Amino acid sequence: MARYNDIAAQKRVLVVDDDVDFALPELCTVLEEDGYHVTGANNSKEALKRLREAPFQVLLTDMKMPLMNGLELAAAASRYDPFVVPIVVTEFATMDMAIGAMRRGVFDFVPKDTGHKGIVAAVERAVSHWNLRWSRSLKDIAPAKVLLVRAPGSDRRFYGWLHERPDFEVVRVESLGEALKKLTQGDLDLVVSELYLDDSFGLATLSTLLKTAGSIPVVVIGRDVGQETASWALERGTADYLVTDGLTGPIFASRLKHAIDRHRLLNKVRDYAGEIRASSLHHLRIVEGYADPMVVLNGSQEVLFVNPAAERLYGTPVQQLVGTQYHSFPEVGQSMEFELDRADKKKCIAEMRTTKVAWEGEDTAFLVALRDV
């Protein structure tokens, strides 16, 4: 991970293109004027050499090149550097390119005719994506930041375990007022609080902490006050209620670690859902701009999306196609021919091919590529 520390605050882009007139040096100059640190490469072999030597946030590559095309280079680059975000620039997009881009994890597909402005915009999105992934990775390996709220003079032996363990970074305060200030100042993973403090007592302490902590989990330490109080606390979102009697250091640390891990797992699930939505948007952008007619179906064969080329092939507006039912389509990886049901009743035979894709809100989705034969 140390390999990436020096570039986290930079915007490092590797530009790969054998067309010197297009990418080198003009595109490099445009990116540098926008504050990017740019390195150029004239072919895939040189690009992989650069990736071995130093990390980059973005790989911006032309589609058509000798040795490897842009999709092949994107796949190879991710083996050298799993964090690098690939963007492929192409003059003319086809269905095979779209499917290849989705399968190889290409972040964006940009037509050359968008010019430097469109390419720079894609690079900006890719750098933001890299920064998000990097911050998540740091979060996973960093010590958990714990806010310990304890009454003055309260020196329970199990508290010492928090300071001894390298996976906890503890900030200690002795009043609710101090705790509320800390909650608004820093990035915390967990709040651990006693209920009886100098400026707050009982469940009122917990209620205020929960309201201010937001999504940060709160663990309560208290006396055995009965099932009703503990249930009240847990029903209102407390991550755990620990009774002090018999609580040992190892058990205390283990319960806190469990609360932190559970919170991080929930965040990862939310992040994954966000990535699925982002992936759908990327796929949408890729599919929408392709010359080949393409349709996206859900697992029930209902039409979710139609690109402009498919709209022209069917001779039917998108609004009338979305939501309709496909009666048949080939198995993934296979092809078939069928007669299109065009609005103008003209006979049209099309070849159909299918591949599975990720699509927002769908457990199963298929990209259907059509070709007028």
Average pLDDT over residues 186-191: 87
Q: What is the mean pLDDT of residues 71-81?
A: 88
Domain boundaries, the chain: 2-141, 144-263, 290-372
Q: 219-248: per-residue pLDDT in tens?
A: 998 776 677 777 888 888 899 988 888 788
Of 332 and 360, the structure prediction assigns the larger pLDDT to: 332
Architecture of domain 290-372 in this structure: 2-Layer Sandwich (3.30)
Confidence of residue 180 (pLDDT cuts 50, 70, 90): very high
Rounded CA separation 77/271 (Å) = 24
- Alpha carbon of residue 231 to chain centroid: 36
Q: What is the pLDDT of residues 6-49, one digit of tens each?
A: 666 678 999 998 765 555 577 888 899 989 999 989 899 999 99
What is the pLDDT, as a whole number, of residue 212? 93
Backbone angles phi and psi of 17, in degrees to 5: -165, 130
Per-residue confidence at 311, pLDDT binned at 50, 70, 90? Answer: confident
Domain 144-263 CATH (choose: 3.40.640.10, 1.20.120.530, 3.40.50.2300, 3.40.50.300): 3.40.50.2300
Answer left, alpha or beta for residue 192, where phi above 0 means left and psi between -120 and 50 means alpha.
beta
Model confidence pLDDT, tens digit, residues 274-288: 565 555 555 555 656
pLDDT of residue 148: 93
Mean pLDDT rounded to a whole number for the chain: 82
- At residue 296, the 3 state secondary structure works out as strand
